[in-house]
A = this chain, B = another copy of it.
Amino acid sequence: MLMDPDFLPRRRLLTAIKNAEHATQQVKDAAVRAAGLTMAQYNVMILLTETPGITSAELARRCFVSPQSMNETVAKLEKAGLIERTPHPLHRHVRETVVTPAGRILLDEADDRVLELERLLRDHIPREQQEVLRDLLATIEALAHGRE
């Protein structure tokens, strides 16, 4: 059963995306782990830095994981004192989540190393190409989400 050679795995956009992501993920993982965090924890804290005070349920939605899964990550971060969860003034069983100063220190340590990679990429890719890449990846993300 012959396959169109233009659709062989090594010619696929999906393969190129997976490979690039996997390679960058490995570097990020080492950076994050060096600060004593896991990737899941790092991702949550990054989100909390951008939009402080969101709930665990909201974090789950933004990360496209189940609330239960996010709850696990958040519970571990809380026990480690890296985030704080305070009851919402109106809706008391809802808990607003923020990064603590201690968490911020670890996050910065991890993110500094991640940013080294980001800068490396930008130093090797012309600015206009960076825009093209961002656009293409956003298009792809949207197309994929439309398939779920």
Interface pair B137/A17, CB less than 8 Å apart:
yes
Q: Give the oligomeric copy count.
A: 2
Q: Which residues of B contact A90 (CB under 8 A)?
A: none
Interface pair B10/A145, CB less than 8 Å apart:
no
Interface membership of A121, Cβ < 8 A: yes
- A contact patch SS: helix
Q: Which residues of B contact A12 (CB under 8 A)?
A: 118
Q: Chain A interface residue count: which class?
A: 35 or more
Q: Once bound together, how far apart are the Cα atoms of A13 and B30, in whole Å?
A: 18
Interface membership of A75, Cβ < 8 A: no
Q: Once bound together, how far apart are the Cα atoms of A18 and B140, in whole Å?
A: 12
Interface pair A144/B26, CB less than 8 Å apart:
yes
